Amino acid sequence: MNSEKLTVSLYVRWFTSVLFCTFVSIFFLFAFYSRIGFLIAQLCCGGMYFALIIQACYTIGSRDHNRYLFDKGPKTPLKGLWAGLITAIPSFISAIVLIVCKLAENNNSLVLLLYRIINSQFYALNLMILPTALSLNEISLVAVLGSAALTLLMPVVAWLSYLAGFSNADFLYGLIKITGKKKGA
């Protein structure tokens, strides 16, 4: 589907955000280990992570729209979704390993730590869903599945922002175009 450039761009942004979010989360959680510290850390990490994804996908979607208009490329509405799914493979693998370890009643805390680091964009949120005071056996399966579902956000955001860029409108207006809502008369 010719999504290599977008996929590489998203991988670079994912890796950058993992490093940034790990350091920011550690700083805020050591400085302010409370609900407010969790909220500040999650807002900083989530904002940076999703801003990087949206910027990359929107820009390439807009470029692809211009190529489509001048008959230099095909219409590719699923390009952002495929690139997002490919980029989210490390997150998906870590989530699957976490679920399998939970179902197998494996009490390896290293799996939980690696899962949190690979998905450091949601580190503070994962600390609230999967507390560090509990072992993997003590955490409920619903909490593990809820935390694993967070990995699905990246492909969805990448796809919607690519579609918004491809519709060649402002981001919010692009989302309105995608959902099909009409402006009032």
pLDDT on residue 174: 53
Q: How far is residue 60's CA from residue 161's CA, in Å, rounded to a whole number?
A: 10
Q: How far is CA 69 from CA 1, 6, 38, 180, in A?
A: 18, 19, 45, 21
Angle formed by the axes of helices 4-31 and 79-87, nearest 10°: 50
pLDDT on residue 125: 82
Task: Report the chain's mean pLDDT, rounded to a whole number.
Answer: 82
pLDDT on residue 185: 46
pLDDT on residue 173: 58
| CB distance 53 to 123 below 8 Å | no
Record the pTM: 0.78
Whole-number percent of the chain with pLDDT over 90: 6
pLDDT on residue 176: 60
Query: pLDDT tens for residues 164-178?
Result: 888 875 655 555 666
- Count of CB atoms within 10 A of residue 30's CB? 9
pLDDT on residue 170: 60
Q: What is the mean pLDDT of residues 135-145?
A: 83
Q: What is the mean pLDDT of residues 41-69?
A: 86
pLDDT on residue 138: 80
**CA proximity to 94, closest of 108, 83, 76, 78:** 108
